[in-house]
Amino acid sequence: MALSRGSKAFLIALAGLAAVAAIVVGGAWWWINQQVAGVPGEGDPVEFVVEEGATASSIGSELAEQDVIRNALAFRFVARQRGVDASFVAGAYELETGMSVDEVLEALGEGPMEPDRVRVTIPEGLTVAQTLSRLEENTPFSVDEYRSVLEAARADREGGPLTMPEWVPSFSEFADDVQIFEGLLYPKTYEFDPDEITPEAVLQAMLNEVEVAMASAPPSAVQAAEDAGITRYDALIIASLVEREARVGGEWAEIAAVIRNRIDEGMLLQIDATLLYAAGDPEGGPSSVNTEVESPYNTYQNPGLPPTPIAGARPEAIRAVFQPAESDFLYYVVAPECDGSHRFAETLDEHNQNVAAYREADRCQ
């Protein structure tokens, strides 16, 4: 049946209205998508605080004012759509300018940052003196305050301010001029509550961590080392030597093997890092090495291990001592490529050839 002219006009008008409605709806969704999206190229840090009892409306307005999001209304719309508009936890949040609404809601959903904490990172390979200097720079206490705690602990191991690992020898076995805490202040990043931090708490945390690191070694490997006459404390000493001698990660186990092989053979260790430590110049180069220095740490003159570790050792160095490479190497020297690697040898003749190549390169001096 044919439509009348009026019906056709009505349908055309209806189709037009539908098209307009589609355009309006599509435009609305396009606008919403634009408003909830992030802003490329932004990313400046913003510490945003959600006050107790804040609503999605008030939070959205503040976020927009600080350029974290594009549009407060879009934030409120999405938050209510997801049913999270009344579930924000008061506190400080680390946001950025130009974030999308989704990113902000995710960050707010994870909860606020912890209160400000005292954070200090102790790198591997530091001596006690270097460690205390780093602590002074990053905590409220001075080197002297830390030293006084260490001295009190040394004076009274059982009743002093610090609890020592049981495997550390009795303090009476150490000479008076030896730093008995060497190697025991474990290198790691530490965080402390600013209301609870004390010199004792900092030092005890480091002692606790070295205990954890030593306990992480496989029991069978620890037992094998002890059967070979290497105590846990000996292992920490060797680990410190590995830490100071190795410059390429893959060589930790090789250098640990050389040290253990030389101990088994009754050879002098002849480790340059111990000479630098004895000279009070742990970061010194080849020109600072003096094989005649008078010190219990002179492994060119004194048999066996030095009396204490010479630095804080990383976990890889500790593991390498308990699980050294399977090799018969007795010697190593810096490779002539001067890339931090070493050349290893089983015999003195091979070693002398490696030393000659190193000296001929004349690039690592």
Q: What is the pLDDT along the chain (365 residues), one digit of tens a residue?
A: 555 555 555 445 555 555 444 444 444 444 555 666 666 656 788 888 888 888 888 998 999 999 898 888 888 888 888 887 777 888 888 888 888 888 888 888 888 877 678 889 999 999 999 999 999 999 999 999 999 999 999 999 888 999 999 999 999 999 998 999 999 999 999 999 988 899 999 999 999 999 999 999 999 999 999 999 999 999 999 999 999 999 877 899 999 999 999 999 999 999 999 999 998 888 877 777 888 889 999 999 999 999 999 999 999 999 999 999 999 999 999 888 878 889 999 999 999 998 888 888 776 65
pTM above 0.85, yes or no: no
Specify the length of the chain in residues.
365
- Residue from 246, 309, 248, 249 nearest 274 by CA: 309
Query: Do 204 and 186 contact (CB within 8 A), yes or no?
Result: no
202 in Cβ contact with 146 (< 8 Å): yes
CB atoms within 10 A of CB 276: 22
* Contact predicate 355/335, CB 8 Å: no
Q: Which fold has domain 45-109?
A: Dna Ligase; domain 1 (3.30.1490)
Domain boundaries, the chain: 45-109, 118-215, 219-361
Closest among 215, 220, 254, 251 to 236, alpha carbons compared: 215
Q: Which two tokens stand for residue 282?
A: 């742990």
For tokens 């974290």, what's the residue?
Answer: 68
Q: Which two tokens stand for residue 238?
A: 């060797």
pLDDT at res. 22: 45
Among residues 203, 198, 192, which one has the least CA distance to residue 153? 203
Task: Name every residue whose Cβ is closer than 8 Å to that of residue 96 and which is 6 or more positions away in sequence.
Answer: 42, 43, 44, 45, 46, 68
Nearest by Cα to 327 from 300, 301, 348, 346: 346
- Residue 130 and residue 182 in contact, taking contact as beta carbons nearer than 8 Å: no
Burial of 65 (0-12, 13-18, 19+ CB in 10 A): exposed
> Cα–chain-centroid distance for residue 291?
35
Who contacts 296 (Cβ-Cβ below 8 Å, separation ≥6)? 175, 178, 302, 306, 307
Locate 189 and state its tokens: 């990043």
Residues 6 or more apart whose CB falls under 8 angstroms from that of 357 comprise 336, 343
Residue 311 near residue 187, CB atoms below 8 Å: no
